[in-house]
């Protein structure tokens, strides 16, 4: 009887992770600590004698956390090093917790992300409509005005994952009109997020999903083909792009300033797109100068010093990090960091392809796409969500 209660408690604990992430870091931290204790008790009382179930890629992520620890040996800013270890503890937490014998949490992951995002986005849409009707103005429909406390890039990431699993991994029992309605809600919300990276990454994986539905494409069981699937994903892609470009046209226009900086280093930097070119160049410069990095805590100080040296006030004033997870790892730990992050992603991609786990493959591609333009493992909403998803969906190494 006690084991049954523990399993139920663990089930609803995992399903509460997404609401806790939306609520904020403290709520997520308390919940995950409680889940850790619950899973240990469940393993001792109900799964004693069963082998540990390490997931593909888990050792690489734990190795990357090990680099975070070792990076303190050559860091000057020990306070930043300590904070980094706290924020990125998900790198060891999820591989370890998922390996403990017990409940398989993939279904709980999809349930939590799918329904949490539907509720949150329906509220944001309703709130934006109410403000427009009774207060006036359209700020609630634009960028962070729509996203609320969740950063637009991570909101788009979460919503895209929910969209990919809709009707297959969650919401499977719903009637077709309900699935179409929820798909419309998610696609429109991704566009309204205003995140260029989020919209483009979502468009990439939705387009890939649509291509894999084509009857003439050999999928080998990766995804079932069919005309209805092509229609569904094609419509979703059209809605997503129409909403994104229509609402965030000015933000996409900023990408022209990035092209100017690529062509001419002296071009003024006045947008996030142009700022990324600057930080990527500076980060690459540091990586080449420091093959073993500058240490966990000294990434931003080292970058800011060089921004100021080169007169990049936009980047210096905002103390921008590398905005690329591979460059982030490279600046902090040099080439070993780049290799470890690459192997962590590659091991999951290869395992997903070999085992024909299409959703895991697309979700990994989605995280990698965001990692190309954001340091997704440097903030709690990014690293907790990414490691939770990848470890929950990844296959066991022992099977």
pLDDT digits (tens, 9 = 90+) for 114-171: 999 999 999 999 999 998 888 877 778 887 788 888 889 999 999 999 999 998 899 8
Q: In which band, very low, low, confident or very high, does the pLDDT at 2 lie, cut at 50, 70 and 90? A: low
Mean local confidence (pLDDT), 9-26 = 92
Mean local confidence (pLDDT), 302-328 = 91
Is the pLDDT at 396 greater than 70, yes or no?
yes
Is the pLDDT at 34 greater than 70, yes or no?
yes
Position 190 scores a pLDDT of 94
50: tokens are 């069963």
Position 337 scores a pLDDT of 96
Position 1 scores a pLDDT of 45
Position 242 scores a pLDDT of 92
Q: In which band, very low, low, confident or very high, does the pLDDT at 188 lie, cut at 50, 70 and 90? A: very high
Calpha distance 178→176 (Å, rounded): 5
pTM (2 d.p.)? 0.93
As a dihedral over the C-alpha atoms of residue 4, residue 8, residue 10, residue 14, rounded to 10 degrees, the angle is 160
Which of 337, 344, 343 has the alpha carbon at shortest distance from 322?
337
Q: In which band, very low, low, confident or very high, does the pLDDT at 314 lie, cut at 50, 70 and 90? A: confident
Q: How far apart are the first and last CA of the chain?
A: 30
Classify residue 173 as exposed, middle or buried by CB count within 10 Å of its CB (0-12, 13-18, 19+): exposed
User: pLDDT for 244-297, tens place per residue?
Assistant: 888 777 766 666 665 556 556 655 666 677 778 889 999 999 999 999 999 998
Position 226 scores a pLDDT of 64
Position 219 scores a pLDDT of 65
Query: Taking the mean position of all CA atoms in its chain, how far away is CA 325?
Result: 11
Position 57 scores a pLDDT of 95
Q: In which band, very low, low, confident or very high, does the pLDDT at 227 lie, cut at 50, 70 and 90? A: low
Domain boundaries, the chain: 1-50
Residue-averaged pLDDT of the chain: 89
Q: In which band, very low, low, confident or very high, does the pLDDT at 31 lie, cut at 50, 70 and 90? A: very high
6 in Cβ contact with 34 (< 8 Å) = no
């Amino acid at each position: 009887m006690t084991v049954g209660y523990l399993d139920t408690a663990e089930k609803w604990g995992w399903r509460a992770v997404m609401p806790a992430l939306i609520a904020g870091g403290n709520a997520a931290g308390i919940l995950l600590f409680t889940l850790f204790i619950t899973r240990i008790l469940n393993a001792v009382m109900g799964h004693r004698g069963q082998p540990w179930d390490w997931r593909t890629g888990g050792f690489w992520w734990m190795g990357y956390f090990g680099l975070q620890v070792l990076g303190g040996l050559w860091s000057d800013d020990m306070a930043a090093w300590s904070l980094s270890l706290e924020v990125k503890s998900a790198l060891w937490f999820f591989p370890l917790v998922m390996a403990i014998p017990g409940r398989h949490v993939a279904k709980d992951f999809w349930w939590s992300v799918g329904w949490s995002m539907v509720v949150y986005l329906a509220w944001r849409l309703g709130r934006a409509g109410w403000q427009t009707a009774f207060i006036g103005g359209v700020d609630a429909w634009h960028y962070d005005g729509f996203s609320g406390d969740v950063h637009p890039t991570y909101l788009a990431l979460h919503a895209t994952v929910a969209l990919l699993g809709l009707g297959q991994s969650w919401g499977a029992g719903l009637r077709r009109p309900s699935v179409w309605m929820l798909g419309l809600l998610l696609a429109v919300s991704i566009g309204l997020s205003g995140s260029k990276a989020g919209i483009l990454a979502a468009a990439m994986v939705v387009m890939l999903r649509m291509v894999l539905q084509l009857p003439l494409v050999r999928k080998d069981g990766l995804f079932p083909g069919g005309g209805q699937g092509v229609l569904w994903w094609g419509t979703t892609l059209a809605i997503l792009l129409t909403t994104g470009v229509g609402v965030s046209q000015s933000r996409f226009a900023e990408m022209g300033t990035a092209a100017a900086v690529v062509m001419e280093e002296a071009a003024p930097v006045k947008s996030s797109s142009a700022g990324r070119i600057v930080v990527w160049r500076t980060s690459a410069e540091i990586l080449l100068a420091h093959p073993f990095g500058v240490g966990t805590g000294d990434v931003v100080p080292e970058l800011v010093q060089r921004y100021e040296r080169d007169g990049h006030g936009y980047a210096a004033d905002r103390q921008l990090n590398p905005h690329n997870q591979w460059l982030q790892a490279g600046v902090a730990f040099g080439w070993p960091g780049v290799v470890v992050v690459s192997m962590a992603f590659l091991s999951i991609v290869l395992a997903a392809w070999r085992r024909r786990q299409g959703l895991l493959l697309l979700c990994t591609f989605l995280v990698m796409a965001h990692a190309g333009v954001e340091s997704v493992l440097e903030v709690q909403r990014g690293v907790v969500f990414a490691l939770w998803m990848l470890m929950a969906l990844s296959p066991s190494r022992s099977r």
